[in-house]
A = this chain, B = another copy of it.
């Protein structure tokens, strides 16, 4: 048995609180400690440093994606991949402020390995699999980057985000005629439809 006094928190609850703070806009050791009724110093009994918390968190987020969708052999290759990618996008975009960390680090973690292995099951050519990963993660990263800039508001629903993009998108029609003409489509870059459209095209070439 463990000797000292009982812990007043557990790593999982700590990660929950950390995720809330990231969603709110800023993860601070002091804020995190306050959220779980601890002193900043006590956090270092749970994780060696802040980076370890972020890593554990992003690994957990990535693990929330449903790998079963990728392995469902009753469906076609493209259906499986598209369905899984949509699920991954939905899961990650629930916490857009955590996405940069995921893209930056967690793809060395064990969870990322499992995702890669499953993807290779559906798409055996590793070059093709990487191309899909690049597209999916790139699209998610670009979408998440946009939300990052906004204030600490809640994540707006998709239709609302697109409408906001559309009304904020004003370009000089003389200098950027093509961009100006495409404004409606450009506003919808962050839509599920655009994500799916691009992914299906990419898959059709692999």
Copies per complex? 2
Complex CA–CA separation, A197 to B131 (angstroms): 9
Complex CA–CA separation, A175 to B117 (angstroms): 9
Q: Does A25 contact B (CB under 8 A)?
A: no
B-chain residues with CB within 8 Å of residue A148 when the two chains form the complex = 104
Asked whether A117 lies within 8 Å of B205 as measured between CB atoms, the reply is no
Q: Does A109 contact B (CB under 8 A)?
A: no
Please name 26 pairs of A and B residues whose Cβ atoms are closer than 8 Å in the assembled complex, sorted by A: A103-B142, A105-B145, A113-B171, A114-B176, A117-B177, A117-B178, A117-B179, A120-B179, A120-B182, A121-B178, A126-B182, A126-B185, A127-B194, A130-B186, A130-B189, A130-B194, A131-B197, A133-B142, A134-B139, A134-B142, A135-B138, A137-B142, A141-B141, A201-B202, A202-B205, A204-B205
